[in-house]
């Protein structure tokens, strides 16, 4: 693989993968990104121009996608509308980008015979009880809850159908909640860190008992690269780093990092249909492909992320006020 097309490569996780490729391989990368509100030019700013090219365009536009795909050996598909709360306010861009966009890409790779990797989420499996001893595996039935997760579930099904019906050379990965640099301030961890930097209080939906299984974005990138190189065509791999924490625990870790009292947070209106718990069993990826996360310790990764947001206020501050105004209008 010499030329890789990364859709959504200007977003939080896609840009991390582009950095991973540039640092650890000699492939040339084309980023195809619509540059929505979630994209970040700055995340790609220090990359070598002879290795990385940015094409601004929509994955749902076949006239852009089809000629571009033919120039590459593989497509790694990150582009998506990614925020559950936004999908509750207006589901339409989620259907267009996540479903129609994936369809357009699949048709392009089918015609061109190009390898495809589809980046998806553990949310397609619905949620678990807090005391359920089972975690999600590749065999867990699909049961998405929100418009976002339903659109991702639909996109996974399209990929599987294109593999079986048309012989498309594709793999799928479903990863747990990512954290790390360049994550938009609308998301949980950056929102709480930046609230505290601004002298405000973290905002916990409901009781704060919901559990997420946190993984550093660097570990997600190494897993996707492993699957792209060695994954079996037609297979799904779950990606996770055994990082289960409830939201209250995460908020209290952030408060502690700033020397603030452990009860210095607000409970706010809960998310409609809020999934209770996600948890990934990544045994297949670890045993079959030999992948291991580099971040063994969530506390250390979180501390580095807190420092990163302290050091990059010029990047997130222009978005902060509008994000908080949108949340405030919903009592969140
Ligand atoms: P993000 O919102 O930060 O970035 C998404 C990127 O896609 C942006 O750069 C945006 O401009 C681009 N994009 C959106 N619509 C587009 C379109 N129609 N055409 C071209 N580009 C478009 O998202 P993220 O958190 O980096 O997530 C990336 C992928 O990883 C998504 O597919 C998401 O479902 C998946 N994922 C995310 C997580 C997580 O915790 N954030 C976990 C598992 C899987
Ligand atoms: O202010 C908040 N307070 C709060 O308690 C926000 C923004 C969130 N929450 C809760 C909701 C969730 O239980 O924190 C948890 C994490 O919320 P999000 O950051 O919105 O993530 P989540 O809904 O779990 O989805 C994320 O992980 C899976 C990504 O946004 C998805 O793209 C990915 O597929």
CA 178 to ligand 2 centroid distance, Å? 10
300 falls within a domain? no
311 falls within a domain? no
Give the gyration radius of the chain's Cα atoms.
19
Closest listed residue to residue 163, CA positions, set 84, 103, 110, 209: 110
42 pLDDT band, cuts 50/70/90, is very high
What is the span of the domain harbouring residue 20?
3-179+215-239
Question: How much is the pLDDT for 8?
Answer: 99
Among residues 33, 81, 107, 122, the one annotated as catalytic is: 122
Q: Compute CA distances 115 → 60, 101, 108, 211, 228, whole Å.
A: 19, 17, 11, 35, 9
295 is catalytic: no
pLDDT reading at 218 higher than 90: yes
101 CA closest ligand 1 atom index: 18
Report how far residue 147's alpha carbon sits from residue 230's, in angstroms, rounded to the nearest whole number: 32
Report the nearest-CA residue for atom 7 of ligand 2: 188
Question: How much is the pLDDT for 88?
Answer: 98
281 falls within a domain? no
Q: Does the beta carbon of 194 sit less than 6 angstroms from any atom of ligand 2?
A: no
Q: What is the mean pLDDT of residues 134-149?
A: 98
* pTM: predicted TM-score of the whole model, two decimal places: 0.99
- ipTM beyond 0.90? yes
Q: 94 exposed, middle or buried (CB, 10 Å; 0-12, 13-18, 19+)?
A: buried
pLDDT reading at 116 higher than 90: yes
Among residues 148, 179, 265, 309, the one annotated as catalytic is: 148
95 falls within a domain? yes
262 falls within a domain? no
Report the nearest-CA residue for atom 1 of ligand 1: 11
Report how far residue 239's alpha carbon sits from residue 285's, in angstroms, rounded to the nearest whole number: 7
Q: Does the beta carbon of 86 sit less than 6 angstroms from any atom of ligand 2?
A: no
CA 14 to ligand 1 centroid distance, Å? 7
192 CA closest ligand 2 atom index: 1
128 falls within a domain? yes
And the tokens for 10? 């200007």
123 is catalytic: yes
Q: Please say whether the beta carbons of 292 and 283 come within 8 A.
A: no
Q: What is the mean pLDDT of the chain?
A: 98
Q: How many CB atoms neighbour CB 84 within 10 A?
A: 21
278 CA closest ligand 2 atom index: 24
The string of DSSP codes covering 158-215 is HHHHHHHHH---EEEEEE--EESTT--TTSHHHHHHHHHHTT---EEETTS--EEE-E
Distance of CA 45 to the CA centre of its chain: 20
What percentage of residues in the chain have a pLDDT greater than 90? 99
98 pLDDT band, cuts 50/70/90, is very high
Q: Convert the pLDDT of each residue in 296-306 to its tens digit.
A: 889 999 999 99
Q: Does the beta carbon of 155 sit less than 6 angstroms from any atom of ligand 2?
A: no
And the tokens for 323? 């994000």
Which residue of 8, 147, 188, 324 sits with most ligand 2 atoms within 8 Å of its CB, as the best mutation to test the pocket?
A: 188
CA 188 to ligand 2 centroid distance, Å? 5
Report the nearest-CA residue for atom 30 of ligand 2: 83
189 CA closest ligand 2 atom index: 19
Tally the domains of the chain.
1
271 falls within a domain? no
What percentage of residues in the chain have a pLDDT greater than 70? 100
Question: How much is the pLDDT for 296?
Answer: 83
Q: What is the mean pLDDT of residues 121-146?
A: 98
Question: How much is the pLDDT for 319?
Answer: 96
90 is catalytic: no
* Domain CATH code at residue 73: 3.40.50.720
Question: How much is the pLDDT for 220?
Answer: 98
121 falls within a domain? yes
């Amino acid at each position: 693989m010499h030329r890789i097309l990364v859709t959504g490569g200007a977003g939080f996780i896609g840009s991390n993968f582009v950095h991973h490729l540039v640092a650890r391989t000699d492939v040339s990368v084309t980023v195809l990104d619509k540059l929505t509100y979630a994209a970040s030019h700055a995340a790609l700013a220090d990359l070598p121009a002879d290795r990385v090219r940015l094409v601004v365009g929509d994955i749902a536009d076949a006239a852009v996608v089809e000629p571009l795909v033919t120039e590459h050996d593989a497509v790694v598909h990150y582009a998506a509308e990614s925020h559950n709360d936004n999908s509750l306010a207006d589901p339409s861009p989620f259907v267009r980008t996540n479903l129609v966009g994936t369809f357009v890409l699949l048709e392009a790779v089918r015609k061109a015979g190009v390898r495809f990797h589809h980046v998806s989420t553990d949310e397609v499996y619905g949620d678990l009880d807090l005391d359920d001893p089972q975690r999600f595996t590749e065999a867990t039935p699909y049961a998405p809850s929100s418009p976002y997760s339903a659109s991702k579930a639909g996109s996974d099904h399209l990929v599987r159908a294109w593999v079986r019906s048309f012989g498309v050379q594709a793999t799928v990965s479903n990863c747990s909640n990512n954290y790390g640099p360049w994550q938009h301030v609308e998301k949980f961890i950056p929102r709480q860190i930046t609230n505290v930097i601004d002298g405000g209080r973290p905002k916990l939906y409901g009781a704060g008992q919901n559990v997420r299984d946190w993984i550093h974005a660097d570990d997600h990138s190494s897993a996707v690269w492993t699957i792209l190189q060695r994954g079996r065509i037609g297979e799904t791999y779950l990606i996770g780093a055994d990082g289960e924490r409830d939201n209250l625990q995460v908020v209290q870790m952030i408060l502690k990092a700033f020397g603030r009292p452990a009860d210095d947070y607000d409970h706010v209106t809960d998310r409609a249909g809020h999934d209770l718990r996600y948890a990934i069993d990544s045994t297949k990826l670890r045993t079959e492909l030999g992948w291991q996360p580099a971040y063994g310790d969530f506390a250390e990764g979180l501390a580095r992320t807190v420092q990163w947001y302290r050091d990059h206020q010029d990047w997130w501050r222009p978005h902060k006020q509008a994000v908080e105004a949108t949340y405030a209008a919903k009592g969140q």
